[in-house]
Amino acid sequence: MGYSRHFGYFTILCACLVLLGSCGGAQKSAQPADEADVNVLYGKAAQALDEGNYVSASQLFEEVERQHPYSQWSTQAQLMAAYAYYENGSYNEAIIALDRFIQLHPGNDNIDYAHYLRALSFYDQISDVRRDQAMTDQALKALETLARRFPDSRYTRDAMLKRDLTLDHLAGKEMEVGRYYLNRGHVNAAINRFLVVIENYQTTTHVAEALHRLVESYLTLGLTQEATRVAAVLGYNYPGDEWYERSYALLDDEQRAEILEARGFLDRTVESLFKPE
């Protein structure tokens, strides 16, 4: 289990076990029967979770809430049930439980963790770029919600790292589709996909290739000026990159000279590609 992924759970569980312990000892015999029952039930749920019996744990935590809705354990049990679902890979159930927790307890001390766990429940379902990326979109929205609402949360740094990976994944999907169109001669459709990557996913690892594929596409259509313009942007932003070397090799001597001679006058920013000439 990774630290960033489970730190919140261990924080919660330890707090619960401390509270359980405080209810025992010499005070135990003085507890009302109902309170003793909820302590026993919650203890069984926590033990099942600790032993990796996630199905039993989720069921027992839900029983805590069902049987003792007004006890001190009810709210905590909702969150722990969601975590047990998550650990079992029952992501839909985890998301449903977390949505309910977030709606019912927006001011809870662990609300940031609930948002984080919800985001992970989408993130862990991200599929290969060749498949539908609806889950990736959901993960991105959930990660950004956590960062926007809880910028100082202990989980936000990890969420932002995962956000960057999610953006890279979405850009990879656009590239996959763009290459598919380009290889089959649907050049204009390919250009649209590459432009999406360049405009919307500028921080990802796919931008250099997207620029190169644009050069290829424009040259295929005989649009040499557009190809030269994109190659200049590629060379300025990614000097020495393999994709620039490939694009440079596609240009003729006149185009190469135009790039070099216009070094001080040509707008080579990525944003310039979306400005009217």
* Residues 175 and 101 occupy one common structural domain: no
Note the Cα 80 to chain centre separation in Å. 22
Residues composing the chain: 277
Return the minimum-mean-pLDDT range out of 41-55, 223-237, 247-261.
247-261
Residue 140 is assigned to a structural domain of this protein = no
The answer on 117 and 227 residing in a single domain is: no
Q: Identify whether residues 182 and 88 lie together within a single domain.
A: no
Task: Please give the tally of structural domains in the chain.
Answer: 2
Query: Residue 204 carries which DSSP code?
Result: S
Same-domain check for residues 117 and 184: no
- 64-97 pLDDT, tens per residue? 999 998 888 999 999 999 999 999 999 999 999 9
The pLDDT score that the predictor gives to residue 258 is: 84
pLDDT tens sequence across 125-178? 998 777 778 899 999 999 999 999 999 999 999 999 999 999 999 999 999 999
Structural domain includes residue 221: yes
Residue 32 and residue 117 in one domain: yes
197 within 8 A of 178, measured Cβ to Cβ? yes
Q: Rounded to 10 degrees, what is the CA torsion of 77, 82, 83, 85?
A: 120
Do 13 and 75 fall into the same domain? yes
Q: How far is CA 125 from the centre of its chain?
A: 10
Last residue of a domain, one of 63, 94, 121: 121
- Identify whether 154 is part of a domain: no
Greatest Cα pair distance in the chain: 93
Q: Is residue 209 part of a domain?
A: yes
The domain boundary, picked from 61, 94, 121, lies at 121
Of the residues 57, 87, 121, the one at which a domain ends: 121
Please calculate the CA angle 94-58-74 and round it to the nearest 5 degrees: 95
**CA dihedral (176, 181, 183, 187) positive or negative:** negative
The runs of H, that is alpha helices, within 124-206 are 134-149, 156-183, 187-200
Residue 132 counted as domain residue? no
pLDDT, position 70: 87
Domain that holds residue 224: 171-277
Query: Is there a single domain that holds both residue 176 and residue 276?
Result: yes
Is there a single domain that holds both residue 101 and residue 177? no
How many whole angstroms separate alpha carbon 209 and alpha carbon 243? 6
Task: Compute the distance between CA of residue 221 and CA of residue 240 in angstroms, rounded to an integer.
Answer: 26
Confidence bin at 13 (pLDDT 50/70/90) = low
pLDDT at 102: 97
Statement to judge: residues 203 and 277 lie in one domain: yes
Same domain, 24 and 96: yes
pLDDT for the residue 26 = 40
Average pLDDT over residues 17-26: 45
Joined tokens for residue 180: 């598919």
The CATH number linked to 244 is 1.25.40.10
The answer to whether residues 4 and 97 belong to one domain is: yes
pLDDT exceeds 80 at position 35: no
Q: How far is CA 211 from the centre of its chain?
A: 25
| Same domain? 101 vs 203 | no
pLDDT band at 107 (very low <50, low <70, confident <90, very high): very high
1 or 165, which is more confident: 165
**Predicted pLDDT of residue 146:** 97
- Looking at every residue in the chain, the average pLDDT score rounds to 86
Is 186 domain-assigned?
yes
Which residues have C-beta within 8 Å of that of residue 93, sequence separation ≥ 6? 58, 85
82 within a domain of the structure (yes/no) = yes
